[in-house]
């Protein structure tokens, strides 16, 4: 069960209050949208000083995309995922990736029941709404690939049989920085399945002080109660695909993608799937901001987060800092439509 936000609770994103206090979405979406704003506010009370990361994760959730969080252990990656699942009343599962983890440990498989004398399919943790794959790059490449179909098509195929996953479905995967002991780099094909690649980074000094004082006695995640129902999230997700997109905005997305394919600093540019995902992220951000149309600013805001892990540099991989810097420079140099 979920409960509406109390009347004395904040009703707007503190960073974008001027834009988020009102919405021009259809009437049937006004209450779900307000509940999503409350989710955003309460997340900021748990994850201090990471407003941009919270907005990005909620945008990915609206866009029905998955998120890859790369950073050192202990900066709040798993706490963020658990908080989202509690506030939106989503079924949450977590898997700890290790080198000996098998695909069946994620997907499930047939179990022999001696009492019945037959095999019965037992679903794995992937059959949930929000799956957290902790330290995904510690799992073997074979196990990592078990998530590809789930992230791309919201289904899994086991022994020739197809099983649909629950809706909504999202993967939040965390990974240790490259070079940590016992890690397997994610291949380009798997990186391409993630809508966004983010970094939590360390909190600023003031945020860390507040964290120490507020969480000295208990974990704030434990006390979180749902303020939004999964059905409300699905309504907003369905509307994301219907957000108005001007042809000039679509041309701007294509111009950015084309620039990555022509840039001599890159070995492989962005694919059409990358263009599609960038536009979807822009549409989702518009809904999060309460608009029924996309602005070039929405595209520009997410271009680096969506495209940098979909390209390969001449001297590195798509996960390198160099790729992010190249995409940022392309965004700066590409004319913004009026």
pLDDT of residue 236: 96
> For residue 69, what are the β-bridge partners?
174, 198
Q: In three state form, how does the secondary structure of 44-76 look?
A: HHHCCCCHHHHHHHHHHHHCCCEEEEECCCCCC
Check residue 178 and give its pLDDT: 60
Q: What is the pLDDT along the chain (338 residues), one digit of tens a residue?
A: 444 444 333 333 433 433 445 789 999 999 999 999 999 999 998 888 889 999 999 999 999 999 998 876 666 778 888 899 999 999 999 999 999 999 999 999 888 888 888 888 899 999 999 999 988 888 888 888 888 889 988 899 888 889 999 999 999 998 876 655 567 778 888 888 999 998 877 777 887 787 777 766 667 777 889 999 999 999 999 999 999 999 999 999 999 999 999 999 998 899 999 999 999 999 999 999 999 999 999 999 999 999 999 998 887 554 568 888 999 999 999 999 88
Question: CB of 315 within 8 A of CB of 323?
Answer: no
Tokens of 90: 């989503």
| Strands annotated E in the chain | 66-70, 92-96, 108-113, 118-123, 130-134, 155-158, 161-164, 170-175, 194-198, 266-268, 312-313
User: Could you tell me which of 215, 191, 186 has the C-alpha nearest to residue 74?
Assistant: 215
* Cα gap 106→146, rounded to integer Å: 8
End-to-end CA distance of the chain: 45
Q: What's the confidence (pLDDT) of residue 276?
A: 96
DSSP 320: S
CB of 42 within 8 A of CB of 54? no
CB neighbours of 73 closer than 8 A, spacing ≥ 6? 176
Could you give the C-alpha distances from 229 to 3, 139, 198, in angstroms and in order? Answer: 9, 33, 26
CA distance linking residue 298 with residue 285, whole number of Å: 6
Domains and CATH numbers, the chain: 244-338 (1.10.8.80)
Task: Provide the whole-model pTM.
Answer: 0.86
* pLDDT value, residue 211: 74
- Please report the pLDDT score of residue 13 as a whole number: 40
Q: What is the pLDDT of residue 125?
A: 95
């Amino acid at each position: 069960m979920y409960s509406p936000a109390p009347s004395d609770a904040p009703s707007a994103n503190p960073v974008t209050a001027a834009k988020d206090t009102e919405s021009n979405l259809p009437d049937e979406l006004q209450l779900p949208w307000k509940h999503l704003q409350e989710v955003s506010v309460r997340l900021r009370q748990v994850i201090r000083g990471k407003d941009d990361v919270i907005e990005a994760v909620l945008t990915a959730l609206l866009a029905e995309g998955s998120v890859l969080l790369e950073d050192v252990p202990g900066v709040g990656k798993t706490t963020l995922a658990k908080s989202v699942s509690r506030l939106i009343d989503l079924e949450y599962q977590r898997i700890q990736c290790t080198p000996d983890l098998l695909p069946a440990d994620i997907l499930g498989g047939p179990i022999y029941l001696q009492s019945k004398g037959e095999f019965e399919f037992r679903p794995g943790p992937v059959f949930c709404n929000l799956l957290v794959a902790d330290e995904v790059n510690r799992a073997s490449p074979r196990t990592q690939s078990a998530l590809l179909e789930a992230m791309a098509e919201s289904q899994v195929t086991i022994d020739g049989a197809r099983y649909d996953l629950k809706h909504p479905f999202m993967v939040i995967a965390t990974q240790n920085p490259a070079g940590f002991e016992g890690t397997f780099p994610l291949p380009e094909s798997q990186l391409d399945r993630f809508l966004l690649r983010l970094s939590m980074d360390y909190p600023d000094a003031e945020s860390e002080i507040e964290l120490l004082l507020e969480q000295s006695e208990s974990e704030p995640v434990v006390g979180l109660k749902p303020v939004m129902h999964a059905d409300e999230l699905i309504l907003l997700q369905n509307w994301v695909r219907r957000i108005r997109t001007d042809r000039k905005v679509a041309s701007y997305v294509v111009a950015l993608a084309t620039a990555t394919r022509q840039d001599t600093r890159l070995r492989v540019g962005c694919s059409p799937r990358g263009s599609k995902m960038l536009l979807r992220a822009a549409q989702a951000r518009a809904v999060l901001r309460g608009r029924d149309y996309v602005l070039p600013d929405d595209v520009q805001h997410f271009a680096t987060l969506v495209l940098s892990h979909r390209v390969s540099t001449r001297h590195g991989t798509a996960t390198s800092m160099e790729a992010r810097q190249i995409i940022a420079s392309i965004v700066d140099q590409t004319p913004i439509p009026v």
